[in-house]
Structure 1
Amino acid sequence: MKKLSLAVIIATMLSFPFAACAADKVVTKSKPDLSLKLELENAIGKGLTWLAAKQQPGGYWAQAEYPALSALALTAFQGDPSKFYKNKYEKNIKNGYDYLVKSAKPDGGIYGKDLANYNTSISMMALLMANNPSYEPLLKKGRKFIIGLQDDFGEKGMGDDPLDGGIGYGGTYKHSDLANTTFALEALYYTRFLKSDVANDPDAKDLNWQAAVQFISRTQNLPASNDQPWASDDPANKGGFVYFPADSKAGEQKLESGKTALRSYGSMSYAGLLSFIYAQVDKNDPRVKAVIDWLSKNYTLDENPGMGQDGLYYYLHTMAKGLSAAGVDTLTLKDGKKVNWRQDLARKLLDLQREDGSWVNKNGRWWEKDPHLVTAYATITLEILHRGL
């Protein structure tokens, strides 16, 4: 495989918002809307200004023991479309990266207290966005660390346990879940250009991508490709995703047939779409088509479908990444109406921004009462939208 330079990878990420499948080199864009783009630049600037003011003396944001929170803020600064705020807060950015580098462990992970995969994967994306060749050794070690977290509980290499092939938080919270698997696959996908550098390392190995795809499939309500007994093709759930095999944070649903289904929900369904893309599953694959169909039928910006206000900003953030990566320009809803989801989502986030430039969820599930986390999510989301408008 021809090695790609770090600069080429970054250019691809910024030109094509979280690039589409390998077979798709073009991500569709909406009809240019200069007025809305300028509104987004203003909102992004306010968000970055708020984040800059909240940075702690040690270079971190929110909690020093969770580097992912700082990594999300740094990713937001790196994505500034105007470059004005990125230049204005150059010192903040440097201090943030100095903190992130110091958070790296000898084992290759980038974490503090716990949640090793979550923190490492998100930190790797921030390091990659810096376009700094000096970070390549950290990224290589990070790759090795994440790959080492892939689960294989049953007979080795057989995929006989439903959790095989996925990745969990790491550490105490070991077993696989779709959210953590998505974060890990994202980091591995975008650093795949480093794979050739470690090919001769006797300790190096690549992720078992086939096992990862099997795990992803086992979290989807699609009996044709999911061998788990709970998988359902009833109209309300078919094609959507759950948190991990046999567990949905949206709960269960008793069907007329008497079967108990695990309810599909919004944020995990976008995570499932992204995971298939990072695993380079073809866009015409029935599993990809099925999840896009579920997402179209359940499209809303007012809640995380199936979860209400729980994880709303993670849902909106993952929506922007997922639909951009899949090359989806418009969605056809269940009533046949076509919507420009980029414009809808942009206006929604503009309305939700607070006067001081931050965003926050009144619902505290998954840390979303922390404005540092939510402001980073929202700012990155607006940057993705800006690149597609």
Structure 2
Amino acid sequence: MLITSHILLVSALLLPQGKGPDQVKQLKSLSDRLILSIEKKGTKGVREAAQYICALIHSPRHYSMEDGPLMRRPLAVLLRGRGPSGLFGSEENLQEKLETTRWVLEALKLLETEPLVQKETRQALLRAGGKKALRSPWDPQKLSSLEGKDSMSRLLKAVATYELLKQKTPELKPKTRPFLPFQQKALDWLLGQQKQGMWFIPIGKNKRVPDPGTTSLCLAALASKPAAERSEREKKVLDQGVAFLLKSQRPDGSFSTELPNYVTCAAVLALSSIPTKEAQKAIQKAKEFILSIQNVERNGYRPSDRDYGSIGYGGDRRGDVSNTQMAIEALRLAGLSPKDEAIEKALIFLRRSQNLGGPGSWKTTRKTEDGRKVPVVAGNDGGAAYYPGVSSAGYDDNSDGTQSPRSYGSMTYALLKCYVLAGLPKDDLRLRSALAWCSKNFTLDVNPGSKPSLGEKTKYQGLYYYYLTLARALSLAGIDKIAGQDWRAQLRAKLKSLQKKEGYWVNDRNGRWWEGSPTLCTAYALLALAQ
């Protein structure tokens, strides 16, 4: 009888194996039992007290300070654990002490209490551990994989798994679709441009070097062909390319010193389809790099700064919607929760880049070609500019003497994609407004939105990037028809008509943003067709 009871107890504490609603229900019950168990025993030490507070707040019952002693007891343990250096915990090892302090800061932030202690703790972490030490320890993807058998590890795992299951986010991998003959023709051409799984870019007059960014996009295009249909040659090139990418990763997690965000995000896109431990490990390192370059507090940014929450090309460069959308997709592919603070802060920047007046919009000034300073305010069409107050599609003059940056296709679909990946509900004004712009301006003939006075050529800038971003955004949003039209069928027909007889695509009308490269345009086109 005693042995049977023990087996039942152990079984009850393991993670539920049900699916869907059943697993959610089981996780709620398990969380309740584990919280009751911890309440009886009490928390052990500062880190466990902080972890307990975080788990309580994230739990299905969403406990708060209103729950009285349930929160007051671990909070008292936590606050008593502060040392002379401003760090928390009794650990001798600095890294362990930093980890404990990160949990303390997270708990205080979630409780929205002790603002002075939060500020001093943040400063202590920065002094002792640098910018990386400010990263939140609440990562549902990691916590859901905890293997500890103690009650706290099981509680963290249960709550994190519950949180992941409850996230209403899209399936990140596109459905497998038929790989048509004209796509195979393009892939054959693309394979003819590589050597041992590497694609090259020109440097100087006669030199070509392997490029991780181009290689990543081409590998992702190759991986878009259903695995069961790949030839032995295609499999070999994919394996060689992945090996090249893994060797190209730098100690900080990036894949290049040139355009590090773009290249690293492209590498994550390619590696995300490779089910190996090495690829997944590289993706996690890349995730940490992308997070490290976000324009947030640890990099000196304040919420009042225009670029707050954004990601740019890398380093100190200003953020933009294009880089930010690539970063958000890469972070989500790497398992980051849409509720993570990095995503929530990015939403602030994205809202500022949207032509949607009201709270969260952005005002600035710009200098015109004749040297005048003109006030710039958000428009109201729901689309997106390149970054707050700045548009590559020109500006509209308003009757009150202000100007508004014009919304254009590629950035508006990028904005829509971000909103979907961030888990915004369909009735959210930001998402609805972006989708309304896309529906009103749907076309595959040009990248819509540019001011007519900028000339015919401007309509075609970034055309193939536009095709990919449109397809990815609508696919993630689960939209099969826009403006009453089957966009997939139209995109297939359009790209088939634009394909060169050799099999590749190239932007003949405007080579800006590297679209004079047949390799890049062909990769974009194949990725768009896969959505």
Instruction: Give the 3-state SS of the residue equivalent to 1:365 in structure 2.
Output: coil
**Matches of 1:74 and 1:86, distance apart in 2:** 14
CA drift at 1:280: 1.9
Equivalent residue number for residue 107 of structure 1: 252
Report the CA distance between 1:221 and its aligned residue. 0.3
What is the Cα deviation at residue 57 of structure 1?
4.7
User: Cα distance 1:22–1:378, how it changes in 2: closer, same or farther (>3 A)?
Assistant: farther
Residues 162-196 of structure 1 show CA distances to partners (whole Å, capped at 9, x for unaligned) of 1010000003x621111001111101011116x8x
The equivalent of 1:321 in structure 2 is: 472
Q: Distance in 2 between matches of 1:183 and 1:242?
A: 16
Partners of 1:41 and 1:81 within 8 A in 2: no
Deviations 1:338-387 (A, max 9, x none): 21111111100111111111111112110001011000010111121xxx
Partner of 1:269: 412
* Distance in 2 of aligned mates of 1:87 and 1:97: 15
For the Cα contact (< 8 Å) 1:217–1:225, is it kept in 2?
no
Specify the alignment match of 1:258 in structure 2: 401
1:142 to 282, 286, 290: 286
Deviations 1:239-266 (A, max 9, x none): 0001111211111111234321110000
The alpha-carbon deviation at position 140 of structure 1 amounts to: 1.3
Q: Is the 8 A contact 1:108 1:138 kept in 2?
A: yes
Aligned residue for 2:424? Answer: 281
Q: Structure 2: give runs of 5+ residues left out of the alignment.
A: 1-139, 146-165, 203-208, 364-375, 451-457
- Give 1:2 shift: 6.3
- Distance in 1, matches of 2:233 and 2:167, equals 36
Counterpart of 1:13? none
Say which SS state the counterpart of residue 367 (structure 1) adopts: coil
Q: Are 2:221 and 1:76 aligned?
A: yes
Partner residue in 2 for 1:308: 459
- Contact 1:153–1:161 (CA under 8 A) maintained in structure 2: no
* 1:189-338 matched pairs, under 5 angstroms: 189-192=332-335, 208-229=342-363, 230-234=376-380, 238-305=381-448, 306=450, 307-332=458-483, 338=484
Instruction: Give the secondary structure class of the aligned counterpart of 2:192.
Output: helix
Contact 1:164-1:215 at 8 Å conserved across structures: yes
Determine if the alignment matches structure 1 residue 345 to structure 2 residue 491: yes
Question: Which letter does structure 2 place at the counterpart of 1:317?
Answer: L
What secondary structure, in the 3-state scheme, does the structure 2 residue paired with 1:308 have?
A: helix
State how many pairs are aligned: 340
Please report the TM-score for the alignment, with normalisation by the length of structure 1. Answer: 0.81
Does the 8 A contact of 1:77 with 1:86 survive in 2? Answer: no
Question: Aligned equivalents of 2:477 and 2:232: distance in 1?
Answer: 31
Residues 2 and 98 of structure 1: is their aligned pair in 2 closer, same or farther, counting only changes over 3 Å?
Answer: closer
For 1:116-195, list aligned pairs within 5 A: 116-152=260-296, 158-171=302-315, 174-192=317-335
Between the aligned partners of 1:310 and 1:117, the Cα distance in structure 2 is: 21
Cα distance change on mapping 1:282 and 1:298 into 2, 3 Å: same
Report the Cα offset of residue 227 of structure 1.
Answer: 2.9
Runs of 4+ in 1 over 6 A off after TM superposition: 2-5
In structure 1, C-alpha distance between the alignment counterparts of 2:360 and 2:487, rounded to whole Å = 29
SS at match of 2:470: helix
Residue 54 of structure 2 is matched in structure 1 by none
Rg (Cα) greater in structure: 2
- Tell me if structure 2 keeps the 8 A contact 1:222–1:231: no
Does structure 1 retain, via aligned residues, the 8 Å contact 2:197–2:238?
no
| CA spacing shift, 1:48–1:62, aligned 2, 3 Å | farther
Aligned to 1:44: 183
Match of 2:58 in 1: none
**Correspondence for 1:374:** 521
1:24-47 per-residue CA deviation (whole Å, 9 max, x = no partner) reads 6689x99xxxxxx76x51122111
Partner SS for 1:315: helix
Please give the root-mean-square deviation of Cα atoms over the aligned residues, in Å: 2.6
CA distance in 1, matches of 2:210, 2:425: 38
Higher normalized contact order (CA 8 Å, seq sep 6+, divided by chain length) = 1
Percent of pairs with identical residues? 35
Candidates 54, 70, 76, aligned match of 2:193: 54
Check whether the contact 1:45–1:85 (CA below 8 A) recurs between aligned residues.
Answer: no
2:93 aligns with none
Quote the offset at 1:269 in angstroms.
Answer: 0.3
SS at match of 1:282: coil
Question: Which SS does the other structure have where 2:180 is aligned?
Answer: helix
Please give the TM-score of this superposition, normalised by the length of structure 2: 0.60
**Deviation for aligned residue 1:82:** 7.0
Unaligned runs of 5+ in 1: 6-20, 31-36, 196-205, 333-337, 385-389
User: Partners in 2 of 1:154 and 1:101 — Cα distance?
Assistant: 28
Query: Greater share of helix residues, 1 or 2?
Result: 2
| 1:354 aligns to 2:500 (yes or no) | yes
CA contact (8 A) 2:170 2:477 kept: no
Q: State the distance in 2 between where 1:183 and 1:339 align.
A: 27
